[in-house]
Structures are given as structure tokens and as C-alpha cells.
A and B are shown apart, each in its own frame.
Chain A
């Protein structure tokens, strides 16, 4: 099998699918031309991510990494969510095929994009250096 049991579980039964009306932050990364788009919605209360949902256009691992990433940041503080790395998502899924690692990068970036949107909407100061645009070859090929 191409994918681990965990990946297939998150693909078959994705957690937190959908959208949040009046979300506090929305992040969308990737483009349809490359075949992956992830959109993550967050609801923030007292600096805690109280709810998170996603919509994804992409392959099995794109859906599974979105699902896992949302699960990993739910209930966490915004600062903790910002620490989420693509590596942690890959590890939590018991690995991804090499060609699919970019999906986990997209998941990390979708979370960061949603948090950046939350900061922007609420006039919260942040270090712009830490929120540079996605530059991976995949999205800009």
C-alpha cells in the first residue's frame, strides 16, 4: 500500500471537514494548477483555537494531512499552532511517500495563513518575517 494505515484512516474519515461561518481566520494555500488547494478556517477565543475546519482539493495525502493538521491544532493556543511543523504532521501520520511530503508543507502553510489572517483582521502585531509567502517549488512550478 502506498499510504500508511493512519493516512488511509484520515483519508477515509477526515476530521473537521467543512467551513466555519464568521471564522476568525481563513487561510488558503496551493493552486488548482498543481492539483492541491487547502483552505483552513479557525475560530479563536482568548488566544485559543476553539474550532477548526478545512476544505481540500487534492490527492489522498492532501486530504489526510489537512485532517491531521486540524486535529493537531484544535484546542491549542495560537502560538502553539504556529509551531506546528510539516514534519510533525508527517510523523503523526506514520510517514508519507517522498513525492507527497509537499502535502504536509501545504498543511503547515494553510495553518499559518489562517493565523496570519486572524492577526490581520484583529490588528494584532506580528513578526512579518515569520509569515513569508509560500515559496516551495510545488506551488510555483
Chain B
């Protein structure tokens, strides 16, 4: 049996998205910037897609800028806020310790250029405290950037509350909503979001396309100079097939959001309930404030990459925050940020589901994971020492 349980990494492109995209390769292939009819038809479709995406977040079409993906949108949002802050001599950013690298690495680069960043701690449940964000905001803060839902442990952050504080304190608020869009309801007006990043392939759209929502009044800084596409804020001929595919996928996801959430969260809860029976295991991240499709657990005494390879051999595609899967020495900064010790964080497993997963697939995971964990523990000197009492159990 093959089970794809890595939907936080990417999703299968939906039939709706593929069908929407196909005419844009050989029928509606015009350049939206061309004046002739073929180009103008393409332009019309581009604007329809913009309207569709805007509606999904209660935004206006002219507030949506198409990008190459979530990372580009994050980069552009942060650099925009810094540029706007410079004019008022504001050089401080508030963020959290467990942001996606598209945000963290951009912030680290800015720190080298003289911008000061406060990385607010998250609690052990993987949720940032609104008070902590509020108290980190200073007179010279130009941006608060907090992710909507964490990519590894799936925890949902108090975005509306943070948005309200930012509005009151007159600070630009950006959220990386890559893991949230299409999975949970987002209303940029109600939540006081100034900028928001999304990525097409996280909700069954195509890869290589995303969008940045920037509220009216936000003066975007270009990352790419060139033509006047995207209201002059993002040069380069629009990737129209991908944009149309993303818009179709997003609409489908948002139209079915409650139905899918109910179905997928039931599968998630079954997985969590059953896999928690494995001795010395722990579920990472808040169980309530959590996207419907995320399961993240650690198993003591084993290492994540070997766990993934074994699961792959049993037909299960999953992910881990172990150092070995990241190519660095340290395990996931997210798992460390919620206070897990290194040795435990190395043994993490992320299963991220979609509405395409079946009950049978979940049962296959429930049967396989304990077998693989047991097998790896049997050959683990760490587990041996834990069993003999030479090491103390942490979880």
C-alpha cells in the first residue's frame, strides 16, 4: 500500500487545478501585457484569477500580487516593511523563534545590515503568547511577522489578536500563511493582516507560484526589476497557467474547507490517539490550535531519518525534523524552540494528511509505525541505555 502523508511538503495537484491550467498552454497562451486580442484574453483570465484569490481572503483584487511562491512573498513583505520603516527611522522587527526559513533567513540577513530583530519565544505547545508580542513592540518597530500555522507542528497562532495589537500600535503586520491558506478560514480585514504570503502547491495547486496580499497603503518594494507586471511591483511575464491553477485550487479548497477539516481532523486524531500508545512517545504542538492535517511526534531512542527510510520501504511517505534530513548538525529549530532536548528532537516524525487519505491508509500507518519504532529501538544503543536505567527517560 502507498500512503502519501507529506502534504505539508507539497500536495498532489488537484484535477480541478489541472483542468483549469491546460487551456493556458496551447489555447490561451497570450502574454497578458500584449495589446492584441490573444494577449487581452490572457489578461482577462489573469485578473479573474486575482479576483478569485482575493475573495478567498476577503481582500480586494488589487491587493493581490502573484509571485513565484511563498518564499518570494515572505521576502518581499519583510523588505517592504523595512523600506517603509526606514523613512521613519524605524529599524526593529518582531518575529518568533519558529518561523519558516524564508522568514528567518531574511531576518538574519537584515540583522547584518543593521536591523534589530526580537525573536519572541513560543510556549511548549508551540503557540506564541499575544502579550509577548505586545511587549516586544517598540517605538521603532517597523514590522511584526508571525506565521499563521507552523509548518512542522501545525500549531495555529493567535493571528487576529496579534493583528489587533499591531493595528493599535500602528505597526505593519505580516503573516506567512503558507500552511494555513486553504486549510483554515482567513479574513484579512477581520484579522487586521497587512501582508500575507501563500504558496500554490500547499493546497493542491501547482508548484512555483504563490501570492502576496498587501493591503492598500502598503507600498511594495520590488525584489525583481523589469517590466510593469503586477502593478509594477513584480516584474516578469506572469506564469499564467500556474496562477490560474492556483486560483482554481484555492477556491476548491476554501469552498470545501469545513468539510475537509472535519474529515481530515478525524483521521489526524485517530493517528495521534493510536501512535501515542507507543511507549516514550510525545505529540508535539497544541492539540486544539492545530491545522486539521498535522501529526508531529517524537519517539525516544531512535533517529528520524532512519525512521523515514524504513517507513518509505513500507510505502509511507512522511517527513522528519531530524538533523540528518536537514543537512545540518542541529535538529529542527521548531522542535528546539518548543523546548525539546536535542536527542529527542532527532527522533521526530511529521505526518501531514489531505482529504485524499483514506481510513485504510491511516490504519496502515497505525500498524507500521510501532513496528518500525520497535525495530530501530532494538538496534539503538541509546534505547539500550534507557532500558537499563543508565540514561533517564526524557519523554
A→B interface (CB under 8 Å) = 11-12, 14, 17-19, 28, 32-39, 54-60, 62-63, 99-100, 138, 141
B→A interface (CB under 8 Å) = 301-306, 309, 313, 322-324, 327, 329, 331, 342-343, 346, 378-384
Among B303, B304, B322, residue most surrounded by chain A Cβ atoms (within 10 Å) = B303
How would you classify the secondary structure of chain A's contact residues: helix, strand, loop or mixed?
mixed
Report the bound CA distance from A63 to B304 in whole Å: 13
Report the bound CA distance from A59 to B324 in whole Å: 6
Chain B positions within 8 Å of A60 at CB level: 305-306, 309, 324
Chain A positions within 8 Å of B327 at CB level: 99
A55 and B303 contact, CB distance less than 8 A: no
B384 and A55 contact, CB distance less than 8 A: yes
A12 and B313 contact, CB distance less than 8 A: yes
How would you classify the secondary structure of chain B's contact residues: helix, strand, loop or mixed?
helix
Report the bound CA distance from A141 to B324 in whole Å: 15
Total cross-chain contacts (CB, 8 A) = 70
Report the bound CA distance from A57 to B378 in whole Å: 10
A55 and B379 contact, CB distance less than 8 A: yes
Chain A positions within 8 Å of B331 at CB level: 35
**Mind listing 13 A-B residue pairs with CB under 8 Å?**
A33-B342, A34-B323, A35-B323, A35-B329, A36-B303, A37-B381, A39-B384, A56-B381, A57-B302, A57-B381, A59-B304, A60-B305, A138-B329
Q: A35-B342, A63-B379, A138-B329 are known; give 4 further A-B pairs, CB within 8 A.
A: A34-B323, A37-B380, A55-B379, A57-B302
Chain B positions within 8 Å of A58 at CB level: 303, 306, 324
Report the bound CA distance from A35 to B323 in whole Å: 7
- Considering the complex, give the chain A residue whose CB is closest to the CB of B342: A33
B379 and A32 contact, CB distance less than 8 A: no
Chain A positions within 8 Å of B313 at CB level: 12
A55 and B380 contact, CB distance less than 8 A: yes
Chain B positions within 8 Å of A14 at CB level: 379
A59 and B329 contact, CB distance less than 8 A: no
Among B309, B346, B378, B379, residue most surrounded by chain A Cβ atoms (within 10 Å) = B379
Distance to closest chain A CB from B152 (angstroms): 17
Report the bound CA distance from A99 to B322 in whole Å: 14
